[in-house]
């Protein structure tokens, strides 16, 4: 059982090799929850030792993404901390010293095999239908011979010397003991010829030096998990608690999402990248609620704030089974959390989307339209489609949309004329003053509210879907409303 009274030290350790995705964000969220629950620390470490794959801007995107989500880290490259530096390329010497420590203890060895030789070896193994593995040529060199070749300036990597006998038992909090025969684990490279470490060494060294108590990471690391515990044990260190999180599957549940499918999701208003989510109008509260439940066994429909999550979080209830990405649920949680925001807060959050769409936003109008869209939007940018017309001087209805269902243009024009006559007599034009006589009129004409209000909605807002009609009229103002209805009547009359 996890002791929640002991401050945990947890880290998220992304590689800056692409856009920050859902998996990184969820790991960070679980880290954050455990840190907050135990009064511990949440750390950001940038694992940038694969220099060829590093993408400029990716690190900044990770830092911005975490802050946007509200997952502020206590230690990290840009905030510092007592265990820095927090960027692995700034810790080269530390890894080199540790690789040497393993060599000195007989747990690792320099390997001088050329890429050419390794490639030939790989091809032969393939022909023999063997799993690719290092054949151990340099493992058999005497330490003196190896030291002589290193001193002579020959190029080398350092490999971890996996025990060939016996088995390794590695313990995962969610999956229990995992036992694997040592002979099935390769002698992995832990330090490359450029002097930079691979993940296997760097992460183990850093987790130890940074006093990490719990390692949350993706289950893609399960394959090399026994290697990692062997490295930690070879140093003689205590192991952290290991928690390999569930993988995400594509919405169909069949396999992982490909790059192409991830790109396609965007057309549908969804994404697996945090940056896109922000642009698409998702709010951190909705996203966090959705993410936290992907792999956590609290009741599925739970609406949770970050504080609720901290309170309820329980490591033992995380679910190791793969989780299918369900964007419908994301929409649900996003809409739900939008409705939980106070109006001024929601107004402030939708404003940038109007600005981005090119509207000059009047704050008093924004404040009035906010409660009208609040009940109806799923993402923040929906507010623009629904209510952008409030900031337009003129609207531009499509003539055919002015024709009510079941009516001719002439009949629609007549309905609009009668509505205009009633509204002309309502001054000031408020919801309370306008709605009752308009409903009476609809009844008198023997038409449905949908038909008559539909014509007026298109006339006044320029669109078929809008916030409630009379509330909208009140915000637009009497003169404009009447002028727009007059114009619509003319358009209908001009139709044959
Ligand atoms: N840099 C690794 C990755 O991005 C981190 C894995 C871990 O959290 O240990 O997959």
pLDDT tens digits for range 32-63: 999 999 999 999 999 999 999 999 999 999 99
Nearest partner of 277 among 328, 319, 330, 231, judged by Cα = 330
- Same domain (yes/no): 95, 161: yes
Supply the pTM of this predicted model. Answer: 0.92
Q: CA 196, 86, 234: angle at the middle one, nearest 5? A: 55
Q: Is 37 a domain residue? A: no
**Do residues 155 and 191 touch, judged by C-beta distance below 8 A?**
no
Look at residue 301 in the predicted model and tell me its pLDDT: 61
Helix then strand then coil, in percent of the chain rounded to 5, is 50, 10, 35
Look at residue 300 in the predicted model and tell me its pLDDT: 55
- Same domain (yes/no): 198, 320: no
> From atom 10 of ligand 1, which residue's Cα is the shortest distance away?
14
Residue 182 DSSP class: G
Domains: count for the chain: 4
Residue of 129, 254, 259, 496 with catalytic role = 259
- Same domain (yes/no): 367, 415: no
Nearest partner of 49 among 94, 105, 83, 11, judged by Cα = 94
Whole-number Å distance, alpha carbon 405 to ligand 1 midpoint, is 58
DSSP string, 258-292: PHHHHHHHHHTT--SBHHHHHHTT--HHHHHHHHH
Q: How far is residue 489's CA from residue 483's CA, in Å, rounded to a whole number?
A: 10
> From atom 9 of ligand 1, which residue's Cα is the shortest distance away?
217
Q: How far is residue 435's CA from residue 469's CA, in Å, rounded to a whole number?
A: 9
The CATH number given to whatever domain includes residue 304 is 1.10.1160.10
Whether residue 278 has a cis bond before it, omega within 30° of 0 = no
- Same domain (yes/no): 300, 372: no
- Same domain (yes/no): 283, 201: no
- Same domain (yes/no): 440, 310: no
Look at residue 382 in the predicted model and tell me its pLDDT: 97
In this structure, the strands spanning 176-181 and 167-172 are antiparallel
Choose which residue among 31, 47, 247 to substitute to test ligand 1 binding: the one with the highest number of ligand atoms within 8 A of its C-beta: 47
Q: How far is residue 12's CA from residue 454's CA, in Å, rounded to a whole number?
A: 52
> From atom 2 of ligand 1, which residue's Cα is the shortest distance away?
14
Q: Is 431 a domain residue? A: yes
Q: Which residues of the chain have pLDDT under 50?
A: none
Look at residue 260 in the predicted model and tell me its pLDDT: 81
**Do residues 30 and 71 touch, judged by C-beta distance below 8 A?**
no
36 is a catalytic site residue: no
- Same domain (yes/no): 386, 409: no
Domain end residue (candidates: 362, 391, 420): 391
Q: How far is residue 118's CA from residue 123's CA, in Å, rounded to a whole number?
A: 9
> What is the extent of the structural domain holding 284?
259-345
> Helix or strand or coil: residue 112?
coil
Q: Name, in order, each residue with C-beta under 8 angstroms of 197's C-beta and a sequence gap of 6 or more.
A: 49, 88, 92, 95, 99, 190, 191, 205
**pLDDT per position as a tens digit, 172-207:** 999 999 999 999 999 999 999 999 999 999 999 999
Domain end residue (candidates: 245, 273, 304): 245
In short, whether 31's Cβ falls inside 6 Å of ligand 1 is: no
CA distances (Å), origin 285, targets 307, 348, 366, 386, 436: 11, 15, 22, 22, 39
- Same domain (yes/no): 363, 296: no
Taking each helix axis from N to C terminus, what angle separates 478-493 and 409-424, rounded to the nearest 10 degrees?
160
Q: CA 338, 342, 345: angle at the middle one, nearest 5? A: 85
Q: Name, in order, each residue with C-beta under 8 angstroms of 11's C-beta and a sequence gap of 6 or more.
A: 31, 42, 43, 44, 45, 206, 207, 210, 212, 215
The CATH number given to whatever domain includes residue 169 is 3.40.50.620
Q: How far is residue 259's CA from residue 19's CA, in Å, rounded to a whole number?
A: 12
Whether residue 430 has a cis bond before it, omega within 30° of 0 = no
Q: How far is residue 203's CA from residue 48's CA, in Å, rounded to a whole number?
A: 11
In short, whether 368's Cβ falls inside 6 Å of ligand 1 is: no
Q: How many other CB atoms sit within 10 Å of the CB of residue 284?
A: 20
In short, whether 15's Cβ falls inside 6 Å of ligand 1 is: yes
**Do residues 456 and 412 touch, judged by C-beta distance below 8 A?**
no
Domain end residue (candidates: 363, 391, 419): 391
> Helix or strand or coil: residue 400?
helix
């Amino acid at each position: 059982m996890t002791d929640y009274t002991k401050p945990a030290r947890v880290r998220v350790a992304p590689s800056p090799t692409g856009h920050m995705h859902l998996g990184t964000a969820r790991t960070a969220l679980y880290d954050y929850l455990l840190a907050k629950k135990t009064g511990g620390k949440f750390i950001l470490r940038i694992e940038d030792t694969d220099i060829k794959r590093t993408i400029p801007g990716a690190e900044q995107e990770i830092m911005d993404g975490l802050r946007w989500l509200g997952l502020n880290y206590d230690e990290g490259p840009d905030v510092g901390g007592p265990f820095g530096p927090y960027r692995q390329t700034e810790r080269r010497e530390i890894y080199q010293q540790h690789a040497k420590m393993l060599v000195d203890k007989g747990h690792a060895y320099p390997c001088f095999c050329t890429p050419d030789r390794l490639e030939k070896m790989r091809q032969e193994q393939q022909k023999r239908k063997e799993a690719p593995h290092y054949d151990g040529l340099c493992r058999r060199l005497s330490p003196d011979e190896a030291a002589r070749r290193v001193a002579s300036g020959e190029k080398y990597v350092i490999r971890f010397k996996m025990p060939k006998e016996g088995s390794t038992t590695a313990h995962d909090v969610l999956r229990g003991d995992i036992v694997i025969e040592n002979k099935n684990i390769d002698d992995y490279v832990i330090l490359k010829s450029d002097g930079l470490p691979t993940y296997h060494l760097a992460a183990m060294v850093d987790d130890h030096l940074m006093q990490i108590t719990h390692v949350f990471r993706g289950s893609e690391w399960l394959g090399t998990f026994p290697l990692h515990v062997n490295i930690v044990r070879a140093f003689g260190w205590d192991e952290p608690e290991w928690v390999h999180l569930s993988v995400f599957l594509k919405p169909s549940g069949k396999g992982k999402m490909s790059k192409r499918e991830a790109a396609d999701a965007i057309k549908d208003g969804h994404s697996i990248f945090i940056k896109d989510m922000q642009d698409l109008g998702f709010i951190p509260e909705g996203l966090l609620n959705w993410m936290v439940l992907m792999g956590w066994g609290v009741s599925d429909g739970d609406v949770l704030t970050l504080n609720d999550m901290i309170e309820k979080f329980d490591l033992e209830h995380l679910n190791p089974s793969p989780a299918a990405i369900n964007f419908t649920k994301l929409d649900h949680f996003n809409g739900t959390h939008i409705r939980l925001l106070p109006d001024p807060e929601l107004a402030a959050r939708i404003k940038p989307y109007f600005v981005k769409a090119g509207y000059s936003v009047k704050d008093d109008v924004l404040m009035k339209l906010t409660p009208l869209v609040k009940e109806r939007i799923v993402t923040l940018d929906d507010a623009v489609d629904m209510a952008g017309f409030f900031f337009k001087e003129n609207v531009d209805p499509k003539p055919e949309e002015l024709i009510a269902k079941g009516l001719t243009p002439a009949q629609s024009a007549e309905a609009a004329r009668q509505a205009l006559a009633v509204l002309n007599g309502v001054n000031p034009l408020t919801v309370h003053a306008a709605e009752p006589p308009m409903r009476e009129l609809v009844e008198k004409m023997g038409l449905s509210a949908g038909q008559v209000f539909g014509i007026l909605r298109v006339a006044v807002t320029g669109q078929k879907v809008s916030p409630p009609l009379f509330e909208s009229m009140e915000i637009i103002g009497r003169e404009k409303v009447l002028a727009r209805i007059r114009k619509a009547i003319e358009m209908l009359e001009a139709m044959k």
